[in-house]
Chains A and B, each alone.
Chain A
Amino acid sequence: MSGGGLLELDRVARIYTARRSLFGAADPVRAVDCVSLSVPASRTLGIVGESGCGKSTLGRIALGLERPDAGSVTFDGALMPKLGTPAWRRLRARMQLVFQDPLGALDPRLPIATQVAEPLDIHRIGTRADRADRVADLLRAVGLRPDQGTRYPHELSGGQRQRAVLARALATDPALLVADEPISALDVSIQAQVVNMLADLQAARGIAMLFISHDLKVVRQVSHHVAVMYLGRIMEQGDPDAIFRDPIHPYTQALVSAVPVAGPRRRPRIVLSGEPPNPARRPSGCPFHPRCPVAVSDCQVIVPELQTMPDGRQVACLRAAISPSAARIAA
């Protein structure tokens, strides 16, 4: 996972300080801890994990919206410029972000077409006359009619709003799209439309995507590579088919088994005890060990590094490193 990617994260960490009480001492919260990732052009990297695992922070770091406290972010071979600098502003045209809530991302007082044209105005792309044509093209690309550009956000359905947000994100013809739960607020039948559209847009425009979601089924559908995060660290990463068919890390096993499937269940459900701990009170050793059904005493002490398995995926688990099959059978 190094070299050659459009976006490269190298041992990135982000530490917030949180006060538990007004006069209490500040606790460091490692939201992201030593994460290395690579997103090649035209490829999608899926990030899965539960709330508080650091996946959204990782997306913000990838866009330069937050500076990592350790490690480096490289975009197209150059180090990510500092937030707010002219170099970063220029780069922003090539990197775009799409959120979960399209209504919150759109200005309720402006028609859709004006908002889709905004990035063109900001980055001075095309002449004023060209821009209207370009907006129409963008609306068509996301499956909206150009005449719908005169509508206001509240006049569109949730799916149409998310399409409008995507049209705006695509306006500058970005090389990288960071999509943070982009379809989680949409109904199932509309989710499928947007997922297909993302795949088509990627194929047509060669966009690299960082797809952040808690929905394993959707991540498997869209991703070429997937990373499973827990408490700021990557637990397992590699080919989505392999990871979701045959997870090795005990956390991935539990996460995969927890996905409710419509129809007969393929594997027994592993119900974890307890809840993910507060990131401010990160356990020693492996962050997952207090909930892990196969943890041994070493897991309380040693922070496992990612190890490459014979099939090419990487797993951060002491039990898997000793014997992958043993870990799988024991769990």
Chain B
Amino acid sequence: MRDAGLLDLAASSLTPPGATPLLAIQDLTVAFDGVPALRGVDLAIHAGEAHGLVGESGCGKSVTLLAALGLLPPTATVRGSVRLDGQELLGAPQAVLDGVRGGRVAMIFQDPASALNPVHRVGAQVVEALRLHRGLDGTAARAEARRLFDLVGIPDPTRRLDAYPHELSGGQNQRVMIAMALAGEPDLLIADEPTTALDATIQAQILDLLRKVQRETGMALVLISHDLGVIADVCARVAVMYAGRIVEQATAEALFANPLHPYTRGLMSALPDMDGPRRRLAAIEGAVPEPWAMPAGCAFAPRCGLAVDACRADPPPALLPAAGAYRPDPHHVACLRADPDHHVEPRWHTASRSAAMTRSRVQPSARA
């Protein structure tokens, strides 16, 4: 694959100067029964930041974090390095992982109803987490569970502690999951499509809650989503994944104002707008390549309007700072053809879209 020198350069260049990442994933590869799912992922999550991981189904966004926490089935072959505050997690003994999972690193999923135990009261499930990770018992644990329910905005928390998951709505169950995740006072919360199963107005409530608890507890948040809008709403930095690799990484502001990778641009053009004139959607033709039939070159080359022969022949370049990126948190992209200064408009770019982007580049967004 890549030589060690380049790897070090790539990994260190993702780190803002003077900061050791809380979670450092380096050259992580995962294969299921020999079929590659993750093909070399470098990702650094810093203390207290909200980091988004976006991509379509099968791109490896969930697998990245599941592999990092040792949550993949034994059929998966995991290689690379995952360090939490310098401690290697890959191949770590079970006792170490048990302390990390649910303790220093918590995770919530898309479907809270199936993540909760249906035959136990939700309060008891939160108390169990408090006992395992904080050593709390009896009335102290129940009082803390009540405080957590209050924190995540569950109305009438004392009574709700005695409810069963089926008595609560999907939004309330997701709040319970968040309370349980917070029980271990995590340094990092991984939220894997936390609002995908929820209605729009409930999704807004849960995203608000995630922002609030992240701000109040100072924990880092990794938000995994297929929805660019959800990511834009919560995250300060974003990594875009395609076919088992990170293809672009930048601050949310830079990414949404000026996406550099043709795939990221394609994704944004494929989204219908909420206002302005209606235009024909710019679909990305074709489909994601099957994991057992990856093209020799860049995985996106077969669908890319900018691809040249070199894109099809050679593996894509490593994730490197884009030209002209001198800021402390540079825009990274893994594309031969991405050049922010002389970029050619991909063929699916419509005039209105690029005009909108130019506007937002001139006037930096006032995102909440």
Residues of A at under 8 Å CB distance from B?
50-51, 157-160, 187-193, 195-196, 199, 214, 216-218, 220-221, 241, 244-245, 254-266, 269, 271-272, 275-276
Q: Mark B306-340, 1 if CB is under 8 A from A, else 0.
A: 00000000000000000000000000000000000
Query: Distance in Å from the Cβ of A55 to the closest Cβ of chain B?
Result: 12
Docked CA distance A245–B274 (Å): 8
Q: List 5 A-B contacts (CB under 8 A).
A: A50-B199, A187-B57, A263-B365, A265-B368, A275-B171
Q: Which of B202, B256, B366 contacts A262 (CB 8 A)?
A: B256
Q: How far is the CA of A245 from the CA of B276 in the complex (A)?
A: 8
* Cα of A12 to Cα of B199 in the assembled complex, Å: 25
Q: How many residues of B contact A (CB 8 A)?
A: 48
A245 CB to nearest chain B CB (Å): 5
Question: Contacts of A266 on B, CB cut-off 8 Å?
Answer: 274-275
- Distance between Cα atoms of A105 and B124 in the complex (Å): 40
Give the A-binding residues of B (Cβ under 8 A).
56-57, 169, 171-172, 199-205, 207-208, 226-233, 256-257, 266-268, 270-275, 278, 280-285, 287-288, 356, 360, 365-368
| Minimum CB distance partner of A291 in chain B | B201
Across the interface, A217 reaches (CB within 8 A) one of B231, B232, B273, namely B273
A259 with B281: CB separation less than 8 A: no
Q: Is the CB of A260 within 8 A of B233?
A: yes
B272 pairs with A220, CB closer than 8 A: yes
Find the A residue at minimum CB distance from B203: A258
Q: Are the CB atoms of A190 and B287 closer together than 8 Å? A: yes
Inter-chain contact A220/B280, CB cutoff 8 Å: no
Q: State whether A188 and B204 are in contact (beta carbons under 8 Å apart), knowing that A193-B283, A262-B229 are contacts in the complex.
A: no
Asked if A271 and B227 sit within 8 Å, CB to CB, the answer is no
Complex Cα gap A145–B256 (Å): 36
Which residue of chain B is the closest to A160 with respect to CB atoms?
B287
Indicate the member of A189, A241, A261 with the most B CB atoms within 10 Å: A189
A191 → B minimal CB distance (Å): 7
Q: Which residues of chain B have C-beta atoms less than 8 A from A218's C-beta? A: 272
Contact A195 B274 (CB under 8 A): no
Q: Are A275 and B202 neighbours in the complex by a CB distance under 8 Å? A: yes
Q: A50: which B residues are within 8 A, CB to CB?
A: 199-202
Could you tell me if A271 and B284 are in contact, using CB atoms closer than 8 angstroms? no
Interface pair A244/B365, CB less than 8 Å apart:
no
